[in-house]
Amino acid sequence: MRLLKFPVKLRGLARLLAMAGLAAALAAPARAASPYTVADVHVDASAASSTEALNIAVAQGRPKAWTILYRRLTRQEDWPRQPALDPQTLLRISRGYTIANERRSTTRYVADVTYIFNARAVSRILQQAGIAFTQGPSRRILVVPLSPGFQGGAWADALSQLAPHEAIVPFAVAAAGDASLKGVNFDTASWGDVSVAAHRAGANEAALVQAVYADNKVTVNIKRLGIGEAPVTASVDVPLQQTVGTTYPAAAQAAVMALENLWKSRAVVDLSQHGRLLVNVRMSSLAQWGAIQSALAGIDTVTGYTVTAMDIGYAQLAITYLGSPDQLRDSLGAAGLALAPARGGTWTLAMNGGP
């Protein structure tokens, strides 16, 4: 039996189709996706039988998926510290896989494999290695293209084409016709200038991403804005590639990486940092109280909690955790819990949308 003929440049075509779909997806509400699922790892192996080739191909793809996952969860400065895991350990921290675009013959197997990792097992490995890492997907971020002001065109298009599956940060690129962003200035902009557009996109943060050409390079300036947060800035230079327009795709990739590093600088958990927080919890039913407890138990950075007081519809908890209070708030938010400061230096905790 001969190997089935592959369409010419199948992988390239698939990627183009995926990117085309991604541009439309960016305008839609973000779908929650586990950061511990690594999609579309291409595998290709040959052996004495198709079954053996399949097993070899899947095993060969698992280290690639582990590298993608590790880089997704950690800061770029920690990438050289990636733990080297043997095949047995990689299998132990995996929950399974799914297959797409499968092609096989009697001796060859080719496919795109999605690997699903066990979050707790991965967390334990990174904690044992002393490597700071993110705990889950970030809040949605609105990207506002500036060149140098807010407008559509080649720069906005380049950013809209990017949503790499290796990323952990979900992006939405602002629509070129959004009147609320007209006149946004990179140097003076605050959260109030972008809050309307961010709310419309379902985002709790925004990033102004400005492309400026000078001295034979494109400089990308990034300004991250959030509710009640001080702006954080970064910049990256990209050498000119023939023209400014042909440089924009590389500049957009550099911008996405810089933006992710900005987010990770806040989101990765410093395992040497410990905290304790006293929170007042309001719940409308025993079922809601149970849901709150279950959510707390599912957060890796929450090392424990004790009930210090309780009454009908009310409880006071002492929560111990790893990392910073902001990281705790983000982790709780991802688990469906809202942590907020109250009067007198106290904190409140409730289910999102709850009392």
Distance of CA 115 to the CA centre of its chain: 17
pLDDT(21) > 80:
no
pLDDT 10s digits, 124-144: 898 888 888 876 555 678 899
List C-alpha distances in Å: 352 to 32, 77, 279: 16, 34, 15
Q: What is the mean pLDDT of residues 2-23?
A: 34
68-82, 93-107, 156-170, 192-206: range with lowest mean pLDDT: 156-170
pLDDT 10s digits, 213-224: 988 899 999 998
Q: What is the mean pLDDT of residues 36-53?
A: 93
- Look at residue 108 in the predicted model and tell me its pLDDT: 95
Which is more confidently placed, 345 or 295? 295
Contacts of 163 (CB under 8 A, 6+ apart): 22, 25, 26, 170, 171
31: tokens are 């779908």
Q: What is the mean pLDDT of residues 198-205?
A: 84
Q: Which of 161-175, 178-192, 256-270 has the highest mean pLDDT?
A: 178-192
pLDDT(29) > 80:
no
pLDDT confidence band for 10 (50 / 70 / 90) = very low
84: tokens are 């080297």
3-state DSSP assignment of residue 65: helix
* DSSP state letters, 113-149: EEEEE-HHHHHHHHHHTT--B--SPPPPEEEEEESSS
pTM: 0.59
Do residues 220 and 211 touch, judged by C-beta distance below 8 A? yes
Contacts of 256 (CB under 8 A, 6+ apart): 159, 162, 164, 167, 171
Q: Say which residue the tokens 């950075």 belong to.
A: 301
- Look at residue 107 in the predicted model and tell me its pLDDT: 94
Hey, what's the torsion of the CAs at 68, 69, 72, 74, to 10 degrees? Answer: -110
Q: In this prediction, what percent of the chain has a pLDDT beyond 70?
A: 84
Long-range contacts of 342-348 (CB under 8 A, 24+ apart): 342/280, 346/278, 346/279, 346/280, 347/277, 347/278, 347/279, 347/280, 348/279, 348/280, 348/281, 348/282
pLDDT confidence band for 271 (50 / 70 / 90) = low
Average pLDDT, the chain: 81
State the Cα–Cα distance between residues 99 and 125, nearest whole angstrom: 26
pLDDT confidence band for 16 (50 / 70 / 90) = very low
Do residues 322 and 251 touch, judged by C-beta distance below 8 A? no
- Look at residue 326 in the predicted model and tell me its pLDDT: 75
Do residues 321 and 270 touch, judged by C-beta distance below 8 A? no
The pair phi, psi for residue 308, each rounded to 5°, is -95, -20
State the Cα–Cα distance between residues 210 and 161, nearest whole angstrom: 16
Do residues 162 and 252 touch, judged by C-beta distance below 8 A? yes
Strands 94-104 and 217-226 come out as: unpaired
3-state secondary structure 144-168: EEECCCECCCHHHHHHHCCCCCCCC
The pair phi, psi for residue 45, each rounded to 5°, is -145, 155
Q: Which of 41-50, 241-250, 257-266, 330-339 has the highest mean pLDDT?
A: 41-50
Contacts of 152 (CB under 8 A, 6+ apart): 176, 177
- Look at residue 354 in the predicted model and tell me its pLDDT: 54
61-70, 96-105, 136-145, 329-338: range with lowest mean pLDDT: 136-145
Q: What is the CA radius of gyration of the chain?
A: 23
Closest residue by Cα to residue 267 from 97, 75, 99: 75
Q: Say which residue the tokens 């929170």 belong to.
A: 279
